[in-house]
């Protein structure tokens, strides 16, 4: 409905070039921001850039949904695809693009109050420039149809991310080692990815994803191809914080500026997971014997280990943001578990949880950023009694927290149900048991903080009532209401996820 209106009202040039403009607009705005004389102007341009990208993503989604199973191919420089670089949008990455650009837009709206307070107005334009580069890089990873081009965009976004994380050093010096860890681990991940692409290039002679996919069936026993996939999975696993490659994540999220933590938690690992799905299901086929073994004996155990171990670790954190970060690794486990089932239902459940997790973690980190801003609160003890002094902020936090646990009528419930059904279809009842137990652990870590917020007396009774700034409350409540809305009527995200899974597995898609 809304999508059709967007498509009808869009001018011709936007419809024709949306696939590339979604990356080009933020990427060209970034240097303009670096030259911008005023911080406020830079902020307005950032919102304009992310909003434009969101608009392009809706146009792409509308075009894709017109013809089920279709794909948009955009040849850069008009070089035809296997030779030139291709941007290829199908239902899978259209969904991811809507998610990234939407979260990027909400993040950039609330950037101003947090950054203005955390940095006292110095060089905000350069900070926002790095943010837009990160944003453009993530959009590029999701949009491109070229395996090496994906690496380039992954590096564009990662390099900008290291800078963004290190900017937390103004408040807490521990941001610097956190950024350095992330730099080392992220660079290792990127190197593994590029080694894998190199091995596959050596065997197939092409970098275009669709072309690799077409050549692989003839090479199914090839050692070089198998080693290539192994390298790619480790590389992307590092970027996606797949357990046990997640060590960089808790500190990076805990010490980055609040706005960066929110944006990264909602998008960065999601894009790496998207790339993983793309490699596992579109380029390689789960029918290949070694990949079926990989899914069942490597990814599924790692996913369940993440769900259990990191949920337990989250229970014992005293810093709220570290707790949320460990919970993020556990949630990546849920998504990977869905992927490792290897069926359309499993991938669809994984994608739906990816979408919902983005909504809930975005809201949680945004609320925490607001509380950090208004009360300088970091630990769970600092959060005591905030339900009374900041009711609007904490109510949204509570909703997102319940969604994270998977309480009925929230988005988290729907995706966990779907995940459970997908697992039962395969007879993986033991995985369902792990799923339920991990959700039970989430009750503990979220319950701990909700109890402090709503049932404990304030630490300092004379603390006056103070909410997070309005510019933060608006995007925060958009996310919180989305958590409830998509918990009651999940047809939009569930439809996106089902289409995305179908496109990933190339069911009925013209190949």
Partner 1 sequence: MKSDHHLILRVIAKCLLPLITIYAFYVQFHGEVSAGGAFQAGIVLAVTVILYALIFGLAEAMRAVPPWFARGLAALGVLVYGGVGVWAMVQGGQYLEYQALFNEPPGGHDGQHAGIILVELGVLFAVAGAMVSIFYALAGRVAEIRDEDW
Binding site for partner 1 (CB under 8 A): 13, 17, 20, 24, 27-28, 30-32, 34-35, 74-78
Q: Token digits for 108? A: 């950039």
Residue whose structure tokens are 């696993």: 237
Least separation, in Å, of the C-beta of 31 and partner 1?
A: 4
Distance CA 153, CA 168 (A): 24
484-to-113, 398, 491 alpha-carbon distances in Å: 26, 12, 13
Cβ proximity to partner 1: between 24 and 471 the closer is 24
Q: Token digits for 326? A: 């460990």
Distance CA 315, CA 300 (A): 23
Least separation, in Å, of the C-beta of 26 and partner 1?
A: 11
Output the CA torsion sign for 332, 336, 339, 345: negative
Q: Collect all residues with Cβ–Cβ distance below 8 Å to 227 and sequence separation of at least 6.
A: 196, 199
Write a three-state SS string for 246-290: CCHHHHHHHHCCHHHHHHHHHHHHHHHHHHHHHHHHHHCCCCCHH
CB 448 within 8 A of CB 383: no
Cβ proximity to partner 1: between 23 and 203 the closer is 23
Cβ proximity to partner 1: between 11 and 461 the closer is 11
Residue whose structure tokens are 């792990």: 434
| DSSP string over 158-197 | HHHHHHHHHGGGGT-TTHHHHHHHHHHHHHHHHHHHHHHH
Cβ proximity to partner 1: between 85 and 225 the closer is 85
Distance CA 455, CA 449 (A): 10
Least separation, in Å, of the C-beta of 137 and partner 1?
A: 13
Least separation, in Å, of the C-beta of 195 and partner 1?
A: 23
Which value, to the nearest 10 degrees, does the dihedral of the CA atoms of residues 483, 489, 490, 492 take? -100
Least separation, in Å, of the C-beta of 282 and partner 1?
A: 24
Least separation, in Å, of the C-beta of 151 and partner 1?
A: 18
Cβ proximity to partner 1: between 119 and 290 the closer is 119
Output the CA torsion sign for 289, 292, 297, 298: positive
Cβ proximity to partner 1: between 60 and 497 the closer is 60
Angle subtended by helix axes 391-405 and 344-375, to nearest 10:
160
Least separation, in Å, of the C-beta of 337 and partner 1?
A: 39
Cβ proximity to partner 1: between 75 and 471 the closer is 75
* Cα 194 versus chain centre, distance: 21
Cβ proximity to partner 1: between 35 and 218 the closer is 35
How far apart, in Å, do the first and last CA atoms of the chain sit?
29
Cβ proximity to partner 1: between 27 and 165 the closer is 27
Least separation, in Å, of the C-beta of 16 and partner 1?
A: 9
Cβ proximity to partner 1: between 37 and 461 the closer is 37
Which value, to the nearest 10 degrees, does the dihedral of the CA atoms of residues 486, 489, 495, 500 take? 20
8-to-14, 54, 58, 471 alpha-carbon distances in Å: 11, 16, 12, 31
Least separation, in Å, of the C-beta of 77 and partner 1?
A: 4
Least separation, in Å, of the C-beta of 279 and partner 1?
A: 25
Cβ proximity to partner 1: between 31 and 508 the closer is 31
Output the CA torsion sign for 163, 165, 171, 175: negative
Cβ proximity to partner 1: between 147 and 163 the closer is 163
Distance CA 391, CA 179 (A): 33
Least separation, in Å, of the C-beta of 494 and partner 1?
A: 34
Helix (H, G, I), strand (E, B) or coil at 324: helix
Least separation, in Å, of the C-beta of 171 and partner 1?
A: 16
Least separation, in Å, of the C-beta of 180 and partner 1?
A: 16
Cβ proximity to partner 1: between 46 and 356 the closer is 46
């Amino acid at each position: 409905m809304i999508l059709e209106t967007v498509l009808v009202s869009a001018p011709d040039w936007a419809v024709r070039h949306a696939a590339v403009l979604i990356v080009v607009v933020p990427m060209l705005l970034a240097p303009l921001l670096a030259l911008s004389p005023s911080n406020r102007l830079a902020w307005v341009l950032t919102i304009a850039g992310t909003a434009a990208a969101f608009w392009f993503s809706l146009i792409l989604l509308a075009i894709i949904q017109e013809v089920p199973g279709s794909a948009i191919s955009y040849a850069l420089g008009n070089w035809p695809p296997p030779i030139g670089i291709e941007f290829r949008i199908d239902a899978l990455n259209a969904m991811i693009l809507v998610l990234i650009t939407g979260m990027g837009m909400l993040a950039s709206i609330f950037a101003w109050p947090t950054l203005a307070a955390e940095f006292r107005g110095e060089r905000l334009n350069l900070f926002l420039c790095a943010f837009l580069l990160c944003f453009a890089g993530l959009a590029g990873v999701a949009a491109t149809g070229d395996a090496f081009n994906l690496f380039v965009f992954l590096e564009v976004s990662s390099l900008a991310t290291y800078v963004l994380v290190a900017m937390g050093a103004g408040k807490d010096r521990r941001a610097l080692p956190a950024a350095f860890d992330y730099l080392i681990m992220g660079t290792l991940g990127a190197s593994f990815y590029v080694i894998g692409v190199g091995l596959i290039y050596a065997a197939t002679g092409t970098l275009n994803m669709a072309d690799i996919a077409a050549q692989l069936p003839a090479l199914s026993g090839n050692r070089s191809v198998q080693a290539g996939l192994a390298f790619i999975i480790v590389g992307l696993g590092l970027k996606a914080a797949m357990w046990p490659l997640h060590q960089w994540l808790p500190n990076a999220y805990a010490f980055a500026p609040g706005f960066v933590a929110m944006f990264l938690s909602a998008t960065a690992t999601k894009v790496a997971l998207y790339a993983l799905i793309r490699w596992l299901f579109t380029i390689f086929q789960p029918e290949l014997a070694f990949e079926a073994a990989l899914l069942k004996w490597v990814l599924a155990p790692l996913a369940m280990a993440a769900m259990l171990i990191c949920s337990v670790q989250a229970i014992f954190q005293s810093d709220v943001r570290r707790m949320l970060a460990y919970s993020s690794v556990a949630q990546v486990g849920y998504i990977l578990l869905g992927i490792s089932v290897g069926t359309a239902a499993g991938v669809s459940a994984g994608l739906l949880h990816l979408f919902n997790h983005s909504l809930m973690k975005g809201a949680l980190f945004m609320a925490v950023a607001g509380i950090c801003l208004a009360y300088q609160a970091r630990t769970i003890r600092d959060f005591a009694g905030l339900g009374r002094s900041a009711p609007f902020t904490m109510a949204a936090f509570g909703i997102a927290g319940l969604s994270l646990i998977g309480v009925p009528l929230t988005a988290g419930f729907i995706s966990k149900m779907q995940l459970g059904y997908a697992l039962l279809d395969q007879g993986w009842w033991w995985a369902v048991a792990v799923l339920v137990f991990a959700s039970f652990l989430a009750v503990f870590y979220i319950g701990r903080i909700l109890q402090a917020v709503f049932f404990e007396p304030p630490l300092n009774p004379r603390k006056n009532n103070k909410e997070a700034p309005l510019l933060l409350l608006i995007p925060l409540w958009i996310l919180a209401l989305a958590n409830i809305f998509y918990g009651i009527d999940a047809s939009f995200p569930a439809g996106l996820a089902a289409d995305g899974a179908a496109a990933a597995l190339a069911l009925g898609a013209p190949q």
